[in-house]
Structure formats: structure tokens, C-alpha cells
Amino acid sequence: MMTNHGSRLTQGQFSFLPDLTDEQILAQIGYALANEWAVNVEYTDDPHPRNTYWEMYGQPLFDLQDPAAILMQINACRRTFPDQYIRVNAFDSTRGWETSRMSYLVNRPAREPGFRLARQEVDGRQIRYRISSYATDKPERERY
């Protein structure tokens, strides 16, 4: 049985939709900036859902007024890592929130092999599940 045809990674917002166009990304960033959230750009080649901390591309983008500046950063990141996952986060520093308010993918590899599900029988016939991306079988930098 295959539940995710095409093995598209579904993490963060909008991930069940077709990929966002640059115009849509600009609008989303504009929304984050209007709320005074700090935006940053991150990339990774290990898409495991529990891989929370991706690598930040460049410096965090504080004190910006205009989404075009962040799109410039995204495009620079796409040029450097064309075959990795890239996401945009928006961090809300308001007391009580102090967390990411937005997170969405803006770039994905051309071919996404998906995840392997492994089952392990342990004490009392209990089953433990383990998932890992097929891509991560290969060393870093050779994955996609």
C-alpha cells in the first residue's frame, strides 16, 4: 500500500498543496513581517520528522521591512543547495509565545525517495517501529 504517491515530504504548512510560487512565498513572508516575526531560512538533507534543527542559511534576518530581501536570501540558498530541503521559519518573540509561528518548505529535491518503515519485535511480541529516509542511507552531500 502506498499512501503518499510521489513520496512528497509533508512537513510544515502548505505541504499538501502544490509547491508555493515565489509570489505566494512573498505574500507569506509579508504576513510574517507584518506581525513582526523574525524570519530565517534553513536547509537540510535529512528530512526525518524528528530532525528539528536544520542548518540556518546565512544570518538570521532581523529588522527587515520588505519580503523581497528574504526572497533574495531564499534564492541564494536555492543556488547553493538546489537539491536539498529548504524551509522558511517565522519566529514570534512575544512573551508567552516565544516559538515558531510559521514554517513551510520552499525547495525540495527533484527526487524524493520517501521513508522506510522497519518493524522490530521486542519483549512480549510488542512491535517497535522505526522510520528512516532512504536518502539518509547515503553519506551527507550524496543523498539527493
Partner 1 sequence: MSTLATPTVDLQGLLREADVQPVLDQLDIELIGLAPVKQRIHEIAALLVVTRARKTLGLEASTPSLHMSFTGNPGTGKTTVAQRMADILHRLGYARKGHLVSVTRDDLVGQYIGHTAPKTREVLKRAMGGVLFIDEAYYLYRPENERDYGQEAIEILLQVMENHRDDLVVILAGYKNRMETFFRSNPGLASRIAHHIDFPDYSADELLAISGLMLTRMNYRFDAAAVATMREYIEHRLAQQHFANARSIRNALDRARLRQANRLLLMPGAIDADALMRIAAEDLRASRVFRGGRTESSNQTILAGPPPRTND
Residues of this chain that interact with partner 1 (CB under 8 A) are: 58-59, 61, 63-66, 68-70, 72-73
Distance CA 73, CA 16 (A): 24
| Residue 29 vs 135, nearer CB to partner 1 | 29
| Residue 13 vs 75, nearer CB to partner 1 | 75
- Beta-carbon contacts of residue 122 (< 8 Å; ≥ 6 apart): 128
Closest approach, Cβ 91 to partner 1, in A, equals: 17
Closest approach, Cβ 124 to partner 1, in A, equals: 56
Distance CA 142, CA 144 (A): 6
Closest approach, Cβ 70 to partner 1, in A, equals: 8
- Beta-carbon contacts of residue 40 (< 8 Å; ≥ 6 apart): 56, 57, 60, 61, 88, 89, 91
| Residue 36 vs 137, nearer CB to partner 1 | 36
| Residue 43 vs 115, nearer CB to partner 1 | 43
Distance CA 41, CA 90 (A): 9
Closest approach, Cβ 58 to partner 1, in A, equals: 7
